[in-house]
Amino acid sequence: MSPVSRTAGFRRSVLLSWLAALACIVVAAVALQVSEPPSDRTQNVTGVRNEPVSYGDGSVTVGSVRVGQGLDHFGGVSRTAGMFLTVDVTLSAEGNRVLSLGQFQLLSGDRVYDDYSVAGLRVQPGFAERTTVAFEVDPQRIDDLVLQVGRGEVVSGYHQQLRVHLGITPENADAWRRASVGQVLDDGSNTTWALP
Amino acid sequence: MLWTDLRILVTDTGRLWWRLLPTLLAIWVLGWLGRRLFSTLAVLAGDLSPWLTMIIFPLGILSELVAIVLILQACGRELGIRSLIPSSELVHDDRDAGVARLLAITLLPFIGIYAAFGYINDAAYSLYVQQLTRYGVISDAPTVLGLLNGLATQHTWRLLMIVVTLYVARRLLDLAHEQTGWRPLGVIVALLETFFILLVVMGGVRVWQLGKIWILDRAFVRWIETALNPLEQFFALLRLNLPDLVVRLYDFVVDEVWPVLADTLVQPLAWLAVAAIIYGSNVMSLADLNRTVRDRLPGTVSERSARRAARRTARRAGRQERPPGRGLRRVGTEAKEAFFGDVDDKYLPTFHALRLVIRSGPAFLGSFVLVYAAVRTLGNYLQTSLRLVTGGHDLDFWLVYDPLIELIRTLPVELLRLCLLAVAFRRCLELFGQRYTAGPVQTLPPVSGGGEQFARADPSDRPTAAMG
């Protein structure tokens, strides 16, 4: 073999080595990205409306959904150019520890609505408490609204977050929009009772 | 060649892990216990003074680092890594004299890498969470973050003085350690460095932010903006929004490219540099290793290398015998020496170790990065599985059980990762040795020490010299 062809062969092998190394690095990057645990530190538990969903030592029940264009709260009526939507949420502390819910959000695809009235629940063991959470939403974007509730203190650890579909679908969205016209909703106050 | 490296890294790592498992488990658990103990004590001490918390907390971080150093040392001993390093390079290095000496030598550069990858930031965050939970969000109790935030915003110069004093004190202690060789000083230096980094991480960041705001508020920033206006107008003519382009490019590199690159490539190499630091700073310099390996070969001691050695010795002697300067000049020289000496101690070993790894060839680099990623992928899936098993809970649960779950998560994977680093470093030395000693008359020696089980005569390997 001539020195020229030997040099060419050497160069080819070096190039192949670098290509192989690059392939390894790409595979490694993909593997790490794919296997990376989600960074949101939340366990999303899906539930159904009007049925209790296990939450910590107790349970959460998402109840009635109402829509309107006004909201009666803090002694006055607020009006919106969009739509108000209220949801009843009940937290039951069936175990031996205090339970609390501090974060309520409404998801519409990538859009996230925060609660209009700052809501919160804190229940002593053996008790249940119900609150009405209000949201101001875009009437054109109410298909497949999902209520997301959690304790809202993700500073460390891995936390439970519940997601419940409110039952508004593309098929019945128009009916919900029509139902909201002229309605004034009651923000309501929290109600507490002892568990049997 | 790639396949050979992959096979060696996977099989030898597995064997090493299995053989040393009881020892490694014991060391890791002890390190974990130390971390938990000092972390808890630090939080409790916060009731007395946040400064006390800051003094005790670094002990927990050091416990973990000490465990890593000892595990890497145990793996290195098992593989006979030190025997691969030419004995002439071991003359001035007494790290084999005992654990305290090893720690004194290795902890300082190790902390540099450890901090660079945000591990001390994570520790600082865990301290913040623990204090937040203990005292509540609205509390008069002074926390570490509250104390440093107050110092940074109301007594900035005082905080800067503390940082500078700590740096100078650490540097002086380091010099005293070099002069006296008294081992506890080395560990105290490492402790001071951890304290220093913690202070910078938790308090210095605020000063940095304040500094940035102050600079942006100065008149000269407006002057620069005015001076750049014609440029902006020029690019407007070209219909090219250069500032936007630069910002987008910067965001893309910083947010997309760098995290992936750092995670995939830089992190494994930096950890291999940690292994290199622990196995001996004498192999840090590529040129040194090359020279020493060649010097060890019969008939290869060249006049050139002898001349180079003589020049080196003369340089060192010259530095030591140089008469001291006067006044400011001397202070300047000493300050320069102190600063660059610090860079030498902390970052130069890492830099040289990286050069050593990269010069081992692309096949080794690729296979090491791939196996390292495989181990981390295993860890990621273990973490996901543990999340599925434990489920979501509130903060009270995690404050109690998180350390235990963390132990379960890290125990198998971290040990495997550290074993891989030892195996990879040995392979690195072998490849490097082969590269510079290739010749028809040398023979491949078995790996000495406890590493006979790992010795091999790979047909694809080029022959190498008998070393050590």
**Chain A residues within 8 A (CB-CB) of chain B?**
14, 17-18, 20-25, 27-29, 31-33, 35-37, 42-43, 45, 56, 97, 151, 153, 155-161
User: Quick check: B271 contacting A, CB < 8 Å?
Assistant: no
CB within 8 Å: B366 and A31: no
Dihedral angle at the C-alpha atoms of A65, A67, A73, A78, nearest 10 degrees?
160
The DSSP result for B293-333, as a single string, is HHHHSTT---HHHHHHHHHHHHHHHHHHHPPP--HHHHHHH
- Burial class of residue B291 (count of CB atoms within 10 Å of its CB; 0-12, 13-18, 19+): buried
User: What's the pLDDT at B381?
Assistant: 94
CB within 8 Å: B391 and A21: no
DSSP label at residue B85: S
Work out the number of other CB atoms within 10 angstroms of the CB of residue B356.
Answer: 22
d(CA A134, CA A116): 5
- Burial class of residue B220 (count of CB atoms within 10 Å of its CB; 0-12, 13-18, 19+): exposed
DSSP label at residue B263: I
Q: Where are the domains of chain A?
A: 1-36, 42-194
Chain A residue numbers touching B376 (CB-CB < 8 A)? 32, 35
User: Quick check: B358 contacting A, CB < 8 Å?
Assistant: no
User: What's the pLDDT at A110?
Assistant: 86
Structure-model confidence comparison of residues B313 and A183, the more confident one: A183
Chain A residue numbers touching B372 (CB-CB < 8 A)? 28
Strands A58-73 and A159-165 turn out to be unpaired
The minimum CA-CA distance between B401 and chain A, rounded to whole Å, is: 9
| B310 falls within a domain | no
| B260 falls within a domain | yes
d(CA A169, CA A49): 14
| B58 falls within a domain | yes
Residues 6 or more apart in contact with residue B245 via CB below 8 angstroms? none
d(CA A69, CA A184): 6
Instruction: List the single residue in A25, A31, A151 with the smallest CB-CB distance to B366.
Output: A25
Closest CA to B173 of B337, B350, B338: B338
Q: Which of B390, B393, B420 to mutate to probe the A interface, most A CBs <10 Å?
A: B393
Provide the 3-class DSSP secondary structure of residue B396.
Answer: helix
pLDDT tens digit string along B176-210? 877 777 777 777 887 888 788 778 777 777 778 78
Measured in whole angstroms, the distance separating CA B66 from the mean position of its chain's CA atoms is 13
Cβ-contact B390, B405 below 8 angstroms: yes
| B319 falls within a domain | no
User: What's the pLDDT at B287?
Assistant: 45
Which listed CATH number (2.60.40.1240, 3.40.50.720, 3.40.50.2000, 3.40.50.2300) goes with A42-194? 2.60.40.1240
Helix axes B50-79, B144-154, angle to 10 degrees: 110
| B321 falls within a domain | no
Q: Give every residue of chain B whose pLDDT is below 50, as ranges.
A: 89-91, 281-305, 308-309, 312, 316-321, 323-325, 439-468
CB within 8 Å: A153 and B260: no
pLDDT tens digit string along B11-55? 999 999 999 999 999 999 999 999 999 999 998 888 888 888 888
Closest CA to A121 of A163, A62, A39: A62
* Nearest chain A residue to B383, by CA: A37
User: What's the pLDDT at B248?
Assistant: 86
Work out the number of other CB atoms within 10 angstroms of the CB of residue B182.
Answer: 12
| B304 falls within a domain | no
Question: What is the number of structural domains in chain B?
Answer: 1
* Nearest chain A residue to B265, by CA: A25
User: What's the pLDDT at B126?
Assistant: 84
Helix axes B2-45, A3-35, angle to 10 degrees: 40
Instruction: List the single residue in A21, A28, A153 with the smallest CB-CB distance to B395.
Output: A153
- Give CA separation, B311 vs B193, B262, B291, B308, in Å: 35, 39, 14, 5
d(CA B157, CA B151): 9
| Angle (nearest 5°) at CA B9 between B4 and B10 | 100
CB within 8 Å: B376 and A18: no
CB within 8 Å: A18 and B265: no
For residue A43, the one-letter residue type is: Q
d(CA B248, CA B264): 23
Chain A residue numbers touching B384 (CB-CB < 8 A)? 35, 37
d(CA B236, CA B14): 61
pLDDT tens digit string along B241-280? 777 788 888 888 888 888 888 888 888 888 888 887 788 7
Provide the 3-class DSSP secondary structure of residue A132.
Answer: strand
Which domain range does residue B50 map to? Answer: 2-299+331-454
| Angle (nearest 5°) at CA A35 between A34 and A38 | 90
β-strand partners of A147: A106, A164
- Give CA separation, B173 vs B65, B124, B181, B281, B323, in Å: 20, 25, 11, 20, 23
Cβ-contact B14, B29 below 8 angstroms: no
pLDDT tens digit string along A5-30? 667 777 777 888 889 999 999 999 99
Cβ-contact B110, B282 below 8 angstroms: no
Residue pairs spanning A and B at CB distance below 8 A: 105
* Mean pLDDT computed over A76-105: 90
| B318 falls within a domain | no
User: What's the pLDDT at B373?
Assistant: 96
Containing B101, the helix (H) or strand (E) segment is helix B99-116
Cβ-contact A147, A134 below 8 angstroms: no
Structure tokens at A95: 């175990």
User: What's the pLDDT at B292?
Assistant: 46
| B306 falls within a domain | no
Cβ-contact B16, B427 below 8 angstroms: no
User: What's the pLDDT at A148?
Assistant: 93
Radius of gyration of chain A (CA): 26
Helix axes B286-296, B348-358, angle to 10 degrees: 60
